[in-house]
Amino acid sequence: MLQFAILSIMNIKTNIPFSELTTMKLGGPAKFLAEATTVQELVDLYRNAKRLGQRVLIIGGGSNLIVKDKGFDGLVIKNRIPGFSVIEDDGASQTIKIGAGEDWDSVVARSVDMGLSGIEALSAIPGVSGAAPIQNIGAYGQEIADTLVYVEAYDSQTDTLVKLSWEDCGFSYRHSIFRGSAQGRFAITAIVLKLYKKSPTPPFYAAIEKYFEELAITDYTLAAVRNAVITIRTNKLPDPVQHPNSGSFFKNIVVEKWQANAILEKYPDMPSYKMDGDHLKIPTGWLIETADLKGELLHGMRIHTGNALVLINESATSYADLAAARDEIISTVRDKFQVTIEQEPLEI
Ligand code: EPU
């Protein structure tokens, strides 16, 4: 009885397939689904779920989420909390508070229009703003950890609203506490970024330099960088609306020098990037391509020809298909190069 009363008051839907909630268009059902448009709504939904003994999962645009065929046996809350306001201006920079449910690319567009630098290279990344710190989104030389000051969140463990500083977030390459030690604990309600009132200056990320050279662009504005990134991404990455995908399906890998050297001996042209001390980052797209998998169709999943890091759901009918394709790619790369690549999107 209590359950039905709460479900109808809070406008909760039941049994919604994750194929409708994720850009990969796969996955079993969400037992309950609700939307939160204010912090209070989000807190109320959490408290009611707890009262009913239900687990909670927060989602945004579903662009970095893979769900198994059994779905989620609990309450899924779609974060739609809005907001965009300047909370501090010190002359050289502005600090901006952004509601977690705001579309990320609209936030980038707005900051570029305002002449604020720091996230222009993160243009055209799908998803909502509150998801950006979870995987520490990064592209073309920027990552959100470079500009983030703090996040506001609901702490489901202590039932309080909290502020988590940059240090608290524990950022590293495509990682934070939100997908590590604190996974499932915090629901991010707002992110706060410090952006600078300045124009971008060279040197730019290689692909952007190339774009500027080809178009003979010498007026390096924020809008020019944003346009360059949008064009480069459009050419390399499939539109999730037309071709279901989750962006990079694999992370680039960080290996020890000796492991990279073993590959370089046989493939001296392999691109690699120096990390701290004895580590190098290797592009997984190169490994998959060199293992002759680019363009292949495995279990209904197409390895994208524009960038082999991306898997497109062409005709897969279940998570099991995706998992079979993923495992085949991982083991083919391991057999050829003796390194283990890892999935990038969160999986539940
Ligand atoms: N490469 C290949 N074959 C491929 C893909 C890449 O040989 O199929 C080589 C490229 O030639 C280049 C190197 O790998 O030498 C790096 O490629 P690229 O600059 O295209 O970037 P990436 O490492 O494949 C990462 C991010 C992207 C981000 C780009 C640009 C990850 C997992 N992916 O890709 O992020 O847009 O850099 O900065 O770090 C995403 O996360 O969804 C995403 C698209």
pLDDT in tens, 244-271: 999 999 999 999 999 999 999 999 999 9
pLDDT at 8 over 90: no
pLDDT at 44 over 90: yes
Which ligand 1 atom minimizes the distance to the CA of 271?
A: 15
Gap between the Cα atoms of 22 and 16, Å rounded? 11
Distance 288 CA to ligand 1 centre (A): 12
Give the residue, by CA position, lying nearest to ligand 1 atom 2: 286
Give the residue, by CA position, lying nearest to ligand 1 atom 25: 139
Give the residue, by CA position, lying nearest to ligand 1 atom 6: 285
pLDDT digits (tens, 9 = 90+) for 324-333: 999 999 999 9
Distance 110 CA to ligand 1 centre (A): 26
285 lines ligand 1 (CB under 6 A): yes
Residue 275's pLDDT band (cuts 50, 70, 90): confident
Distance 305 CA to ligand 1 centre (A): 12
344 lines ligand 1 (CB under 6 A): yes
pLDDT at 1 over 60: no
295 lines ligand 1 (CB under 6 A): no
The b/e string for 107-143 (b: 16+ C-beta within 10 A; e otherwise) is: bbbebbeeebbbbbbbbbbbbbbbbbbbbbbbbbbbb
Distance 246 CA to ligand 1 centre (A): 14
Distance 23 CA to ligand 1 centre (A): 19
pLDDT at 221 over 70: yes
Tell me the sheet residues that pair with 57: 76
126 lines ligand 1 (CB under 6 A): no
What is the set of domains in the chain, with CATH numbers? 2-79 (3.30.43.10), 84-196 (3.30.465.10), 206-236 (no CATH), 245-347 (3.90.78.10)
Gap between the Cα atoms of 150 and 191, Å rounded? 6
Instruction: Check: CB of residue 191 under 8 Å from CB of residue 153.
Output: no
Gap between the Cα atoms of 302 and 340, Å rounded? 20
What is the pLDDT, as a whole number, of residue 6?
62
Average pLDDT, the chain: 96
What is the pLDDT, as a whole number, of residue 4?
54
pLDDT digits (tens, 9 = 90+) for 66-101: 999 999 999 999 999 999 999 999 999 999 999 999
pLDDT at 15 over 60: yes
Residue 127's pLDDT band (cuts 50, 70, 90): very high
Tokens representing 2 are 């209590």
Cα of 194 vs its chain's centroid, Å: 20
Q: What is the mean pLDDT of residues 189-218?
A: 96
User: Probe ligand 1: pick from 23, 273, 286, max atoms within 8 Å of CB?
Assistant: 286
The kind and range of the H/E element at 303 are strand 301-303
Tell me the sheet residues that pair with 255: 280
Give the residue, by CA position, lying nearest to ligand 1 atom 5: 285
Tokens representing 321 are 């298909």
139 lines ligand 1 (CB under 6 A): yes
What is the pLDDT, as a whole number, of residue 277?
82
What is the pLDDT, as a whole number, of residue 39?
98
Residue 5's pLDDT band (cuts 50, 70, 90): low
Instruction: Check: CB of residue 110 under 8 Å from CB of residue 95.
Output: no
Q: Which residue has the tokens 């989602």?
A: 59
What is the pLDDT, as a whole number, of residue 142?
97
Distance 248 CA to ligand 1 centre (A): 8
Which ligand 1 atom minimizes the distance to the CA of 206?
A: 19
Instruction: Kindly list the catalytic residues.
Output: 174, 248, 344
Q: What is the mean pLDDT of residues 14-29?
A: 97
Which ligand 1 atom minimizes the distance to the CA of 250?
A: 32
Q: What is the mean pLDDT of residues 19-31?
A: 97
Predicted structure pTM score: 0.95
Tokens representing 259 are 């492991």
User: Probe ligand 1: pick from 309, 337, 341, max atoms within 8 Å of CB?
Assistant: 309
Tokens representing 51 are 């009262």
Gap between the Cα atoms of 281 and 271, Å rounded? 9
Distance 90 CA to ligand 1 centre (A): 36
| Pairing state between β 72-79 and 55-59 | parallel
pLDDT at 111 over 60: yes
